[in-house]
Amino acid sequence: MAGHPTRNPFPARGTSSAEETSRRDFRDDWARHTPTALLPGVRGAVRLSGEYLRAFRGGAAGEGGLGCLYGAHGVGKTHAARHMMAQAGREAPEAVQLYLRFQEDDFVAAYRRLVSQLPQTLLTDLNERYLDRVWEDLVARAGDPDLVPSGQVLEEQAKEISAVAGNGAEFQRALSFLANPGFSEAAYDWLCGRPISTEAALAIGVRGQLDDPVMCRYGVQLLTALMTGSGRPFMVVLDQCEKFLLEDGDPIPANVGLLQSLVEAIPRAGGMLLLVTSEAGWDCVPPDFRQRIGAGAVRLLPLTPDEARLVLSAYLATPTPDIRPFTDSGLLALLRHSGGNVRLLLQLSWASFEDAEPGAAVGATAVDAAAARHGRSPDLPGLEMLVEAKLLAAGLTAERGRTDGGATEFCFPGGRAPRAVIRLSEAIFFDDEAARATELVRLSRKARSGGNPVFTALVVTGYVSPAVLDHLRKAVHRVLVADGSAVFSRGLDAVLAEIGHVLAGDEQPVRDPGELDETLRALTASLEHLNSVRREEAVTLQRSLAEVADRLERGEEKPASGWPARRAELAAAIAEARRRRATSDWEEFRKIRDAVVLLRLNRIRWLAGALTAAVALAFVTLATASQHPGLLGAGLGAALVAAAVAAYHGSRLITSRIRLAAVPLESRRELDLIARELRRYADPRSADPVCRYAYALTEDPDDNYRRLAAAMLGEPLALVRQAIGHRMAVTERSPADCVPEVQRGLRERTPEVLLLLARAQRHSEVDRPPRVLRDLPPELRVLVALANPGAPDLADGAISRHPAELVLAALGVRGPGHPLARARGGPPGSVPIEIPRNELRAAAHLLSPLEPDGLGTYDWLPLVAEIDGLYLFFEELLYHQEEMTSNRPKS
Query: CA–CA separation, 397 vs 412, rounded Å?
Result: 7
Per-residue pLDDT averaged across 383-389, rounded? 87
201's CB contacts (< 8 A; 6+ apart) are 186, 190, 207, 208
46's CB contacts (< 8 A; 6+ apart) are 83, 84, 87
Lowest model confidence (mean pLDDT) among 91-95, 430-434, 461-465: 430-434
Mean predicted lDDT score pLDDT of the chain: 78
464's CB contacts (< 8 A; 6+ apart) are 427, 428, 472, 479, 481
| pLDDT for res 801 | 84
Q: How confident is the model at residue 158 (pLDDT cuts 50, 70, 90)?
A: low
| pLDDT for res 649 | 52
Question: The sheet that has 234-239: what strands, in order across it?
Answer: 96-101, 234-239, 272-277, 65-71, 297-300
Query: CA–CA separation, 437 vs 520, rounded Å?
Result: 8
Strands in 257-366 per DSSP E: 272-277, 297-300
Cβ-contact 118, 22 below 8 angstroms:
yes
Query: CA–CA separation, 728 vs 110, rounded Å?
Result: 26
Per-residue pLDDT averaged across 365-392, rounded? 81
Complete DSSP assignment for 472-522: HHHHSSEEEEE-SSHHHHHHHHHHHHHHHHHHTTS------HHHHHHHHHH
Query: The pTM is what?
Result: 0.56
Flag whether pLDDT at 773 surpasses 70: yes
234 to 163, 227, 273, 274, 721: CA distances (angstroms): 18, 6, 9, 11, 48
Q: How confident is the model at residue 721 (pLDDT cuts 50, 70, 90)?
A: very high
| pLDDT for res 96 | 92
770 to 482, 732, 786, 793: CA distances (angstroms): 47, 16, 16, 10
821: number of Cβ within 10 Å: 23
Q: What angle do CA 796, 798, 803 make, to 5 degrees?
A: 90
Lowest model confidence (mean pLDDT) among 214-218, 431-435, 731-735, 792-796: 431-435
Pick from 798, 877, 870: nearest CA to 831: 877
Choice between 142 and 566, residue whose per-residue pLDDT is larger: 566
Query: CA–CA separation, 802 vs 796, rounded Å?
Result: 14
Query: CA–CA separation, 422 vs 478, rounded Å?
Result: 9
Flag whether pLDDT at 198 surpasses 60: yes
Flag whether pLDDT at 523 surpasses 60: no
Q: Which amino acid is at 724?
A: I
| pLDDT for res 752 | 93
Flag whether pLDDT at 434 surpasses 60: no
Helix ranges (DSSP H) in 686-759? 689-698, 705-714, 718-728, 739-747
Query: CA–CA separation, 221 vs 234, rounded Å?
Result: 11
Cβ-contact 234, 223 below 8 angstroms:
yes
Q: How confident is the model at residue 233 (pLDDT cuts 50, 70, 90)?
A: very high
Pick from 665, 709, 685: nearest CA to 675: 665
| pLDDT for res 152 | 66
639 to 607, 612, 636: CA distances (angstroms): 14, 10, 5
Choice between 555 and 35, residue whose per-residue pLDDT is larger: 35
| pLDDT for res 354 | 82
Pick from 645, 650, 666, 657: nearest CA to 590: 666
Query: CA–CA separation, 70 vs 277, rounded Å?
Result: 5
What are the backbone dihedrals phi and psi of residue 815, each rounded to the nearest 5 degrees, phi first?
105, 145
Q: What do you get for the CA distance between the two ends of the chain, in Å?
A: 33
Pick from 239, 200, 193: nearest CA to 81: 239
Per-residue pLDDT averaged across 671-680, rounded? 76
Torsion angle, alpha carbons of 373, 377, 379, 381, to 10: 110
| pLDDT for res 766 | 46
Query: CA–CA separation, 745 vs 709, rounded Å?
Result: 9
Query: CA–CA separation, 740 vs 380, rounded Å?
Result: 55
| pLDDT for res 887 | 57
Per-residue pLDDT averaged across 653-663, rounded? 47
Flag whether pLDDT at 125 surpasses 50: yes
| pLDDT for res 659 | 46
Over 832-854, what HEC string results? CCCCCHHHHHHHHHHHCCCCCCC
What pairing do the DSSP bridges indicate for beta strands 408-412 and 399-402? antiparallel
Per-residue pLDDT averaged across 527-554, rounded? 43
Cβ-contact 804, 843 below 8 angstroms:
yes
41's CB contacts (< 8 A; 6+ apart) are 69, 71, 75, 76, 77, 80, 298, 299, 300, 301
Flag whether pLDDT at 514 surpasses 50: no
| pLDDT for res 443 | 54
375 to 164, 323, 326, 332, 723: CA distances (angstroms): 50, 21, 18, 14, 27
Choice between 95 and 616, residue whose per-residue pLDDT is larger: 95
Query: CA–CA separation, 423 vs 446, rounded Å?
Result: 12
Query: CA–CA separation, 239 vs 273, rounded Å?
Result: 11
Cα torsion angle, 795, 799, 805, 808, sign: positive
Percent of the chain with pLDDT over 90: 18
Q: How confident is the model at residue 673 (pLDDT cuts 50, 70, 90)?
A: confident
Q: How confident is the model at residue 538 (pLDDT cuts 50, 70, 90)?
A: very low
Q: How confident is the model at residue 324 (pLDDT cuts 50, 70, 90)?
A: confident
Pick from 225, 56, 204: nearest CA to 133: 225
Measured in whole angstroms, how far is the alpha carbon of residue 275 from the centre of its chain?
19
- How do residues 74-93 score in pLDDT, each as one tens digit? 889 999 999 999 999 989 98
Q: Which amino acid is at 147?
A: L
Cβ-contact 43, 76 below 8 angstroms:
no
Torsion angle, alpha carbons of 17, 21, 23, 26, to 10: -20
Question: The sheet that has 399-402: what strands, in order across it?
Answer: 399-402, 408-412, 420-425, 455-461, 478-482
| pLDDT for res 477 | 82
Best-predicted range by mean pLDDT among 68-82, 198-212, 337-351? 68-82
Task: Provide the angle, in degrees to the nearest 10, between the axes of the packed helices 24-33 and 77-91.
Answer: 120
Cα torsion angle, 571, 573, 575, 581, sign: negative
Per-residue pLDDT averaged across 862-883, rounded? 87
Per-residue pLDDT averaged across 164-186, rounded? 78
Query: CA–CA separation, 492 vs 887, rounded Å?
Result: 63
Lowest model confidence (mean pLDDT) among 108-117, 156-165, 671-680: 156-165
Flag whether pLDDT at 874 surpasses 50: yes
Lowest model confidence (mean pLDDT) among 86-100, 282-296, 532-546, 819-833: 532-546
Query: CA–CA separation, 658 vs 858, rounded Å?
Result: 34
Lowest model confidence (mean pLDDT) among 470-474, 596-600, 761-765: 761-765
- How do residues 605-647 score in pLDDT, each as one tens digit? 777 777 676 666 666 666 665 555 555 555 555 555 555 555 5
Choice between 636 and 561, residue whose per-residue pLDDT is larger: 561
Choice between 641 and 460, residue whose per-residue pLDDT is larger: 460
